[in-house]
């Protein structure tokens, strides 16, 4: 049985579809998400007043993440959802009321198309792009649950090699809240990889960010349902080409596949959350 979304009216504007879906098996036991997969902007918004070069930077999308997510989904035979719009338009990995949902300034770059944005335009972008992506993620998850096996939710991101002039030593990071079912065995397995030694320096446990963020995609569609989950961050220079990204996907598939068979991985369990304002929905 394939899990995929029915064709329906979820287009954003001018035929711009806000979500890319990849078919997968209901028996895969996992869903792959990629919040910052694309640097595209719907035609109506032009380039948001920015030079083309800014859309090649991390401020526009997570470099390499889409290649990795697509390949990982296919290797695990898992359904996947990837955003098709730049985080500069609206950030699919922020809560609906997060003040950073639409960025006016991003890593030193003023975004002219966002500088004087009003509440009505934020709502318009949220309804046309942000909401369809989130609803698609949730619908895929619920379809897998209805098919008889609760899915593990895996979100793929990438991070810059340096931030504000300070190098980031980690090659890979696992971000998580309070549910240890996927993060702990994943961190342990990564820490045994030969090229990730010394692991305490190259494998980040809630690095380079903390995984407890109220309203982000994982919080919204996985933690709130009591589903096992993790957000995996790869350093962008390690997955900047398709070949390198797909090599990492093959490594992660090898590591993740046996973890999916561990006890209690496919149950809804309330571990609570470190994020403020958390309300479980199951």
Model pTM? 0.93
Name which of 86, 92, 93, 91 is nearest 103 in CA terms: 91
Please check the confidence at residue 11 and state whether its pLDDT lies above 60.
Answer: no
Half-sphere exposure of 55 (CA within 13 A, CB side): 14
Q: How many residues does the chain have?
A: 282
Residue 7 has pLDDT above 50, yes or no: no
- As a dihedral over the C-alpha atoms of residue 117, residue 121, residue 122, residue 125, rounded to 10 degrees, the angle is -130
Q: Mean of the per-residue pLDDT values for the chain? A: 92
CA distance 39 to 249: 21
Q: Tens digits of per-residue pLDDT, 126-141?
A: 999 999 999 999 999 9
**What are the boundaries of each domain within the chain?**
2-259
Angle 132-135-139 from CA coordinates, rounded to 5°:
135
3-state helix, strand, coil in the chain (%, to 5): 35, 15, 50
Q: 83-122 burial string, b = 16+ CB within 10 Å, else e? A: bbbbbbbbbbbbbeeeeebbbeebeebebebbeebeeeeb
Report pLDDT for 109.
75
pLDDT of residue 144: 96
When pLDDT is averaged across residues 57-68 and rounded to a whole number, the result is 96
Measured distance CA(97)–CA(113) in Å, rounded: 19
- Model confidence at 12: pLDDT above 90: no
Q: Give the CATH number of domain 2-259.
A: 3.40.630.40
Q: Largest alpha-carbon pair distance within the chain?
A: 52
For residue range 173-187, list pLDDT tens digits in order: 999 999 999 999 999
Query: Tens digit of pLDDT for each residue in 262-282?
Result: 999 999 999 999 986 555 555
Of the listed ranges 28-42, 101-115, 148-162, 215-229, the least confidently predicted one is 101-115
Residue range 70-92: mean pLDDT, rounded: 98
Using CA atoms, how far apart are residues 163 and 189, in angstroms rounded to an integer? Answer: 27
DSSP string, 186-237: HHHHHTT-GGG-SHHHHEEES-SS-S--TTSHHHHHTGGGT--EEEEEEEGG
Beta strands in the chain (DSSP E): 2-3, 19-22, 24-25, 30-34, 80-83, 105-106, 109-110, 152-159, 162-163, 166-167, 172-175, 203-205, 229-235
Tokens of 110: 């003023």
Going by C-alpha positions, the residue among 188, 186, 181 that lies closest to residue 150 is: 181
Whether the Cβ atoms of residue 137 and residue 22 lie closer than 8 Å to each other: no
Helix (H), strand (E) at residue 259:
helix 242-259
Q: What is the pLDDT of residue 105?
A: 83
Confidence category of residue 110, pLDDT binned at 50, 70, 90: confident
Pairwise CA distance, residues 121 & 80, whole Å: 29
Task: Please name which of 228, 232, 219 lies closest in space to residue 187, comparing C-alpha atoms.
Answer: 232
Minimum mean pLDDT range among 37-41, 51-55, 197-201, 230-234: 51-55
Mean pLDDT value of segment 95-120: 90
pLDDT at 15 over 90: no
CA nearest 252: which of 177, 161, 186? 186
Has residue 8 got a pLDDT over 70? no
Share of the chain above pLDDT 70, in %: 92
Residue 6 scores a pLDDT above 90: no
Q: For residue 164, what pLDDT band results from cuts at 50, 70 and 90?
A: confident
Tokens of residue 246, six digits: 């797909």
Q: Using one digit for the tens of pLDDT, what is the confidence trace for 24-41?
A: 999 999 999 999 999 999
């Amino acid at each position: 049985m394939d899990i995929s979304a029915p064709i329906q009216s979820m287009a954003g504007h001018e035929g711009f579809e806000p979500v890319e879906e990849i078919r997968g098996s209901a028996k895969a036991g996992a869903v792959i998400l990629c919040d910052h997969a694309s640097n595209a902007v719907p035609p109506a918004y032009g380039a948001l007043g920015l030079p083309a070069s800014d859309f090649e930077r991390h401020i526009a999308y997570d470099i390499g993440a889409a290649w990795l997510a697509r390949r990982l989904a296919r290797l695990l035979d898992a359904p996947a959802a990837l955003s098709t719009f730049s985080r500069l338009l609206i950030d699919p990995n922020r809560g609906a009321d997060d003040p950073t949902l639409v960025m006016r300034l991003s890593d030193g770059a003023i975004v002219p198309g966002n500088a004087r944005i009003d509440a009505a335009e934020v709502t318009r972008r949220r309804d046309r792009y942000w909401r369809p992506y989130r609803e698609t993620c949730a619908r895929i998850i619920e379809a897998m649950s209805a098919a008889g096996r609760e899915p593990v939710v895996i979100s793929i991101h990438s991070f810059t090699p340096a931030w504000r002039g300070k190098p980031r030593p980690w090659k890979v990071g696992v971000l998580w809240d309070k549910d240890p079912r996927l993060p702990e065995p994943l961190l342990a397995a990564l820490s045994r990889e030969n090229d990730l030694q010394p692991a305490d320096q190259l494998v980040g446990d809630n690095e380079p960010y903390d995984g407890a963020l109220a309203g982000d995609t994982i919080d919204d569609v996985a933690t709130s349902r009591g589903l096992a989950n993790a957000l995996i961050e790869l350093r962008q220079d390690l997955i900047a080409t398709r070949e390198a990204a797909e090599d990492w996907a093959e490594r992660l598939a090898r590591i993740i596949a046996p973890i999916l068979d561990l006890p209690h991985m496919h149950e809804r369990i309330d571990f609570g959350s470190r994020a403020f304002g958390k309300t479980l929905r199951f």
